[in-house]
Amino acid sequence: MISSGASDSILCAFSHFLSLVEANYHESNPYHNAVHAADVTQSMHCLLQETEIYNATSDLEKMIALVAALTHDLDHPGVNNAFLMITENHLATLYEVNNFWIAEHLSTGEPLL
């Protein structure tokens, strides 16, 4: 195993966080699933390695961007906002915003932190 310099307890907590994130993606969703989250997170990592972005962001900002990429589609069942409104899904009335998917992803991801 490659040493990261992080303590075992931090690595254990991070591993647990990743497990929780994975569990909150639907395997049955053909696109918005854990593989998609990993792909978006890898893309964010590559973007953050660009010299101008790397130098302009703190380590905390980089971590926030990676966590946002990782959790951006949590609990997404694979339908859009319009479908939820037409079917009068509970999510359509739960959040007082036009894009309730963003609110749902945030409310699902925040407790995992």
Catalytic residues: 32
Binding residue per annotation — 73? yes
Of 14, 25, 30, nearest to 109 by C-alpha is 25
Binding residue per annotation — 59? no
* CA 55 vs CA 5, 50, 61, 68, 84: distances in Å: 22, 8, 11, 20, 41
Binding residue per annotation — 76? no
Of 74, 66, 78, nearest to 112 by C-alpha is 74
**Strand ranges inside the chain, DSSP E:** none
Q: Binding site residues for Zn(2+), as ranges?
A: 36, 72-73
